[in-house]
């Protein structure tokens, strides 16, 4: 079998397809690099690993740049990766898969593939999530749920620790500064909490009796169909904090929530034993979650 001629034919056909619309181009890229990788594995078995370098040189001479030894080796690794997965997702580009090649844990790879599919992540966004160890910061029970495809809850996808970017390198973190850091990077903060969060308001004003109160952050989760109240504290957790957020949750349930929406949940971020932790409050359960402020 002439492996080189077959590899060359796949690549030439793919170059032609690249001139058509993006979807077809992506599908062609994935199929081409999968088949090329497969042939490279087979050729390596017959002629040894050095055959990749030989093919790379010939392809570059005939077709130009883009078919270096590194590029062909990635195609081979791409094929090997796909053989370990259940299916080849057309929602990911070849560039997405390249970001996953260095990951050894298949469950971790499947997690990021699902994120790309659900959130339409760019290659850069995927790279950032991997760099920030998003999978590692999930609870072990959550990982088991993902593996077993069990039903999940909001708290399952709250990262531990949560990363809050301190772009101005504040040395002293007050409640106002903490709120400012969150608001300045609200999109990232919501992603740290999990998926499908929407920002409604900061300092959300409510009236309880004759007194006005202000909820630090009011969010909404589309998937779980409920409001989320977030309170920010720089002191250790106190009973009155829990009482306060429960009052806020009840207010939202009575004044904003409609009959088709689920019960409001609450999150308290506070400081305890010189460590910042997040206390997640729902149905009278308190789950501790650490978070860290990162200077960027």
Query: For position 21, what pLDDT does the model report?
Result: 58
C-alpha pair distances (Å), 218 with each of 87, 102, 201: 39, 38, 5
> What confidence tens digit (pLDDT) does each residue in 187-217 have?
888 888 887 899 999 999 999 888 999 999 9
How many degrees, rounded to 5, is the angle at CA 160 between CA 236 and CA 264? Answer: 70
136: helix, strand or coil: coil
> What confidence tens digit (pLDDT) does each residue in 13-34 have?
887 776 665 667 788 889 999 9
Respond yes or no on whether the N-terminal peptide bond of residue 149 is cis (omega within 30° of 0).
no
Cβ(235)–Cβ(280) under 8 Å? no
Share of the chain above pLDDT 70, in %: 88
Stretches in the chain below the pLDDT threshold 70: 1, 18-23, 154-155, 160, 271-296
Q: What is the 3-state secondary structure (H, E, C) of 73-95?
A: HHHHHHHHHHHHCCCCCCCCCHH
Residue 73 CA neighbour count, 13 Å, CB half: 9
* Residue showing tokens 């050894």: 104
Residue among 185, 127, 191 at smallest CA distance from 157:
191
Cβ(296)–Cβ(166) under 8 Å? yes
Q: What value does the mean pLDDT of the chain take?
A: 84
- Domains of the chain in start order, with CATH, are 3-131 (no CATH), 152-295 (3.90.1570)
DSSP string computed for 194-262: -SSEEEEEEEEEEEETTEEEEEEEEEEETTTTEEEEEEE-SS---HHHHHHHHHHHHHHHHHT--TTSP
């Amino acid at each position: 079998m002439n492996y080189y001629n077959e590899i060359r034919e796949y690549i030439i056909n793919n170059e032609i397809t690249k001139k058509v619309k993006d979807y077809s181009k992506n599908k062609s890229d994935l199929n081409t690099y999968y088949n090329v990788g497969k042939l490279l594995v087979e050729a390596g078995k017959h002629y040894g690993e050095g055959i990749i370098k030989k093919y790379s040189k010939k392809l570059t001479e005939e077709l130009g740049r883009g078919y270096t030894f590194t590029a062909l080796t990635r195609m081979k690794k791409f094929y090997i990766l796909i053989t370990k997965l259940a299916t080849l997702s057309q929602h990911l580009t070849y560039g997405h898969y390249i970001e996953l090649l260095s990951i050894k844990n298949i469950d971790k790879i499947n997690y990021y593939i699902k994120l790309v599919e659900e959130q339409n992540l760019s290659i850069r966004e995927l790279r950032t999530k991997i760099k920030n160890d998003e999978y590692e910061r999930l609870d072990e029970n959550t990982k088991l749920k993902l593996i077993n495809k069990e039903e999940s809850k909001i708290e399952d996808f709250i990262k531990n620790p949560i990363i809050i970017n301190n772009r101005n390198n504040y040395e002293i973190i007050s409640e106002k500064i903490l709120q400012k850091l969150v608001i300045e990077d609200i999109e990232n903060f919501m992603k740290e909490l999990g998926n499908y969060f929407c920002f409604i308001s900061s300092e959300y004003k409510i009236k309880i009796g004759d007194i006005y109160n202000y909820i630090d952050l009011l969010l909404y989760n589309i998937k779980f169909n409920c409001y989320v109240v977030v309170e920010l504290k720089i002191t250790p957790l106190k009973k009155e904090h829990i009482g306060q957020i429960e009052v806020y949750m009840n207010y939202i349930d009575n004044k904003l929530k409609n009959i088709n929406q689920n019960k409001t949940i609450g999150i308290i971020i506070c400081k305890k034993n010189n460590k910042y932790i997040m206390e997640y409050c729902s149905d009278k359960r308190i789950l501790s979650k650490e978070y860290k402020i990162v200077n960027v």
